[in-house]
């Protein structure tokens, strides 16, 4: 246990530590945990193998203590210096009778006690006797006196830390119709933004199409001009070829006439 405590400290001094988890570090008694942890608020010693709480230090600011799945059968009076204790889990231990938990009467702020899987739960009128013994108790083994299941642990922790239900009342004070209207407005805004983005995308594609068409027109004009130039050259060649042919024919006729005269 001492080595585990040193690891959990992580170089911090004991008075700076508010939460300490020593679950599963095997030890039959409390070793290495001293009064120097005076600001400790939450201590967990689940499945350690404790047979007693001998050596338990004075922890005046302790609020939550987890001791489930050990072999503790008594000696709860050693917790007397932890007057602020509100949550105590002793489930899965060796507590057999109501007299064993009588030392818990001194804890005026104890709200949640868990004795599940202890022999004491088989005592006749067990729940009635425990609630009578501990007037401050709100939940026993996860249920209140009316057999109503305990609230979620997170909610209980918020209450312990002084967080009231103002936030919940604020939420309840909002009209549901107003919330739905705000949600619809939000969805409409998102939908409109999506449409605007699509419209902008279409316009951009249109500009690209126009540019492509302009490029195609320019290419078409260049091709037509090139074809025109080729046609003009061919026409010129034909025009030149025709006069030459007529001249040769005229010269041949003139020569033939001369020979005939001779």
Write the pLDDT tens digit of every residue in 169-186. Answer: 433 444 555 545 555 555
Token digits of residue 47: 């499945």
Indicate whether 32 and 160 sit together in one domain: yes
Over the chain, what is the mean pLDDT?
76
pLDDT of residue 150: 83
What's the number of domains the chain is made of?
A: 2
- End position of a domain, from candidates 132, 150, 172: 172
Indicate whether 168 and 179 sit together in one domain: no
Q: Is the dihedral of CA 210, 216, 220, 221 positive or negative?
A: positive
Query: Cα separation of 67 and 43, whole Å?
Result: 9
- End position of a domain, from candidates 172, 187, 203: 172
pLDDT of residue 151: 74
- End position of a domain, from candidates 139, 172, 205: 172
Instruction: Please compute Rg for the chain using Cα positions.
Output: 49
Query: Cα separation of 122 and 165, whole Å?
Result: 37
| Cβ(83)–Cβ(107) below 8 Å | yes
pLDDT of residue 246: 45
- Taking only the tens place, the pLDDT of each residue in 146-158 is 999 987 654 455 4
Indicate whether 21 and 137 sit together in one domain: yes
CATH number of the domain enclosing 128? 3.80.10.10
Kind and range of the H or E element at 130? Answer: helix 126-133
Indicate whether 30 and 138 sit together in one domain: yes
Domain span at residue 130 reads 2-172
Q: Cα separations (Å) of 48 from 42, 86, 102, 149, 164?
A: 16, 22, 24, 28, 35
Indicate whether 74 and 183 sit together in one domain: no
Residues 6+ apart with CB under 8 A from 97: 119, 120, 123
Indicate whether 164 and 180 sit together in one domain: no
% of the chain exceeding 90 in pLDDT: 56
Indicate whether 87 and 160 sit together in one domain: yes
Question: Model confidence at 213, in pLDDT bands (50, 70, 90)?
Answer: low
The HSE-up count of residue 183 (CA atoms within 13 Å, CB side) is: 6
Strand runs (DSSP E) across the chain, as ranges?
19-21, 42-44, 64-66, 87-89, 112-114, 139-140
* 1: number of Cβ within 10 Å: 20
Residues 6+ apart with CB under 8 A from 113: 88, 90, 101, 104, 130, 134, 137, 139, 140, 141
Indicate whether 113 and 222 sit together in one domain: no
Indicate whether 24 and 143 sit together in one domain: yes
In this predicted structure, the answer to whether residue 241 has a pLDDT above a threshold of 50 is no
Overall pTM surpassing 0.75 (yes/no): no
pLDDT of residue 171: 37
Query: Cα separation of 85 and 64, whole Å?
Result: 6
Ranking 27-31, 63-67, 137-141, 159-163 by mean pLDDT, the lowest is 159-163
pLDDT of residue 226: 53
pLDDT of residue 197: 58
Question: Model confidence at 121, in pLDDT bands (50, 70, 90)?
Answer: very high
Indicate whether 227 and 256 sit together in one domain: yes
How far is Cα of residue 258 from the mean position of the Cα atoms in its chain? Answer: 117
How far is Cα of residue 182 from the mean position of the Cα atoms in its chain? Answer: 24
In this predicted structure, the answer to whether residue 160 has a pLDDT above a threshold of 50 is no
Indicate whether 149 and 238 sit together in one domain: no
Average pLDDT over residues 31-52: 96
In this predicted structure, the answer to whether residue 105 has a pLDDT above a threshold of 90 is yes
Query: Cα separation of 140 and 116, whole Å?
Result: 9
Q: What is the DSSP string of 132-160?
A: HH-TT--EETTB-TT-PBPPPHHHHHHHH
In this predicted structure, the answer to whether residue 253 has a pLDDT above a threshold of 60 is no
Question: Model confidence at 162, in pLDDT bands (50, 70, 90)?
Answer: very low
Residue with tokens 């020593």: 22
Indicate whether 128 and 224 sit together in one domain: no
């Amino acid at each position: 246990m001492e080595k585990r405590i040193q690891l959990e400290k992580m170089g911090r001094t004991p008075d700076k530590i508010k939460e300490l988890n020593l679950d599963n570090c095997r030890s039959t008694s409390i070793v290495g945990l001293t009064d120097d942890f005076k600001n400790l608020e939450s201590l967990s010693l689940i499945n350690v193998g404790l047979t007693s709480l001998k050596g338990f230090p004075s922890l005046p600011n302790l609020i939550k203590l987890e001791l489930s799945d050990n072999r503790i059968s008594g000696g709860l009076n050693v917790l007397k210096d932890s007057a602020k204790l509100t949550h105590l889990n002793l489930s899965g231990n060796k507590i057999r009778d109501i007299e064993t938990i009588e030392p818990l009467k001194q804890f005026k702020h104890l709200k949640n006690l868990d004795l599940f899987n202890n022999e004491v739960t088989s005592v006749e009128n067990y729940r009635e006797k425990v609630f009578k013994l501990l007037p401050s108790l709100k939940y026993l083994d996860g249920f209140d006196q009316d057999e109503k299941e305990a609230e979620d642990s997170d909610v209980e922790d918020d209450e312990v830390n002084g967080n009231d239900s103002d936030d919940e009342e604020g939420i309840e004070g909002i009209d549901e119709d107003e919330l739905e209207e705000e949600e619809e407005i939000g969805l409409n805004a998102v939908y409109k933004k999506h449409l605007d983005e699509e419209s902008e995308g279409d316009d951009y594609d249109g500009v690209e199409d126009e540019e492509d068409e302009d490029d195609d027109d320019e290419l078409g004009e260049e091709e037509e001009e090139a074809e025109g130039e080729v046609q003009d050259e061919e026409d010129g060649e034909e025009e030149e070829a025709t006069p030459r042919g007529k001249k040769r024919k005229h010269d041949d006729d003139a020569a033939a006439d001369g020979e005939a005269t001779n």
